[in-house]
A and B are shown apart, each in its own frame.
Chain A
């Protein structure tokens, strides 16, 4: 008995040592450490990579190198250590007293200011990291969009406890609605004729367009919600799955939207700042919703509907609003998605997309904003890192998901509230 506990606690013990070593490092220090690392990489990354025997900077922390060119593994490891891990850890640990001082000053200011400063540093990290090449840029944007998508699905599958399969459908509605808006109005296009407006004010028109895009998806959601929320149970899963397929085949048969070939020529409006700001805003709004008593009513409906009704909760209205709300953000994510790829076709929004989003939600954790962020980021990164394995990737990711389901049936970080005060506070 004693033997097993000591061996079992050993790895946890060393992790604990690392944790204790970095215990006084505030979040700001980690962000600034990452900023130092990405700026360093920009300055000397290429020459460092070449001196370690690689033709160029490894794009994804060396993951792609591991599987593609095993001979370069030592070089890639060395690069990751020298360019990513060491600069971050050293800056964070050595700078901790200074960053704690700054954190303490920030902590006294209104929360908005503190949060905005952190977000600005985070954005700078993303900017410099993704600036190295186009692959990183697309990957990063897709990852951010998948955070929004995952979180919005979590509102239905986690917070509300129903099982919805319609997210690819909502995303498709959003992608096509946003594309129609931009291609139709702002671009010289064969299908829709010459541009009706100049694209000088993209910064204003694009978010506005995305708002209406979201409303289109929300209307789609109303079509599902009205029949499905009369009862509980499996009806929503079936109806929503049918919805996804119906949207897909309708889009395939509408010639003016390009049919199965899809729609292209979207302007390049999903810039990194645009995606970053909309995703951060979306996460903020969704977090506001699920922490309000209106949003908590979803949990009450999920855990005991009869008790919820007896406590004055209008269960049907609550469910329909939440469902439309989730669809709204899925539509916005779809609109951003279409403008990152600058091309959409119906087959993107099929069963594979559904599997991907569901995997992100269930891997990360139900009923948790943290969980959705972790799920979206880790499944996106994993998907990219395992890309060289091609078809094997679709065996490894589900296997991992099964493991998570065995050891943490509700996902990695489930039922945990997003505590921004705790996150941003100085540590010492």
Chain B
């Protein structure tokens, strides 16, 4: 049984059909890519599955549980973490606090612990701090632990966002354009970071990308979305040679790397 199964999902923004009859199945540990030209509805697909939008039609089953229309925080606490294309970091929180915050649903100390320094609170906060440091280390940004995100170089901020998403060891990780705005060298480093993370934590990954290099290095399977519709699905090689994809997406720009 797949870890995530989306069937016949559609979404309308007013009169605009943003996503049409979308289907997806991700097996545990698999890396699936989602490519498509700007405005194809890739981020909308992410937002629908993670619960930010409620799909107009269709069904989303995650880990054997129907999560269609559930609140984002409930879906996230089932083990679905994500990053954002526009990097939604919290302006007035340190990097360490960012990563600790992702463990919010793991805390069990309740109100008593929040208001008083109960032993349980002290223990849980310390445990989570250790987890957070380990996650920062995995992405090579532990030296920024006490900084605010506004102090970080761009690449480090991207990694912090990933460390925040990966700290809870999610079953499924959504990465929304992890290499956007990066130089080729930074991009190669990012591919290595994602690969290392995948080897250590073994999550299933669903990845939006524009660069074919990233997709072909990382993904087991790729979907191409154009105007809210999946026009092709297959291995990276198949997709690169698919005439429909070349026409819709790569037509003018054969080499994107």
Contacts and interface: CB of A to CB of B under 8 A. Distances in A.
Interface of A: 285, 288-289, 292-297, 299-300, 302-304, 306-315, 321, 325, 367, 415
A285 B115 contact: yes
Nearest to A301: B90
A217 to B, nearest CB: 16
Contacts of A288: 114-117
A306 B92 CA distance: 16
18 contacts: A285-B116, A288-B116, A293-B104, A299-B97, A304-B88, A304-B90, A309-B52, A309-B71, A310-B50, A310-B76, A310-B82, A311-B164, A312-B104, A313-B101, A313-B104, A314-B71, A314-B73, A315-B73
A303 B52 CA distance: 17
A352 B97 CA distance: 38
Given A293-B103, A306-B52, A311-B101, A300 B90 contact: yes
Interface stretch (B21-29, B105-113, B213-221): B105-113
Nearest to A322: B114
B104 A292 contact: no
Can you list the 3 inter-chain pairs with the closest CB atoms, starting with the nearest? A307-B88, A303-B90, A312-B105
A294 B92 contact: no
Contacts of A285: 115-116
Q: Which of A293, A309, A415 has the most CB of B within 10 A?
A: A293
Nearest to A309: B72
A321 B104 CA distance: 15
Interface size class of B (residues with CB under 8 A): 35 or more
Main secondary structure on chain A at its contact with chain B? helix
Contacts of B114: 288-289, 292, 294-295
Contacts of B91: 303-304
A297 B71 CA distance: 17
B196 to A, nearest CB: 22
Given A293-B100, A297-B101, A310-B88, 18 more contacts: A285-B115, A288-B116, A288-B117, A289-B115, A292-B113, A294-B109, A296-B97, A306-B72, A307-B84, A308-B90, A309-B73, A310-B84, A311-B164, A312-B76, A312-B104, A314-B71, A314-B73, A321-B111
A302 B90 CA distance: 8
Interface in B50-93: 50-52, 71-73, 76-77, 81-82, 84, 88-93
Interface of B: 50-52, 71-73, 76-77, 81-82, 84, 88-93, 97, 100-105, 107, 109, 111, 113-117, 121, 125, 128, 164, 168
Contacts of A294: 104, 107, 109, 113-114
Contacts of B111: 321
Contacts of B125: 292-293
B148 to A, nearest CB: 9
A308 B91 CA distance: 12
Given A300-B93, A310-B72, A292 B121 contact: yes
Q: Which of A292, A307, A313 has the most CB of B within 10 A?
A: A307
Q: Which of B93, B102, B104, B168 has the most CB of A within 10 A?
A: B104
A294 B104 CA distance: 7
A309 B101 CA distance: 11
Nearest to B97: A296
Contact of B93 (A289, A303, A314): A303
Contacts of B73: 309-315
Contacts of B105: 312
Q: Which of B115, B125, B128 has the most CB of A within 10 A?
A: B115
B107 to A, nearest CB: 6
Nearest to B103: A293
A12 B223 CA distance: 63
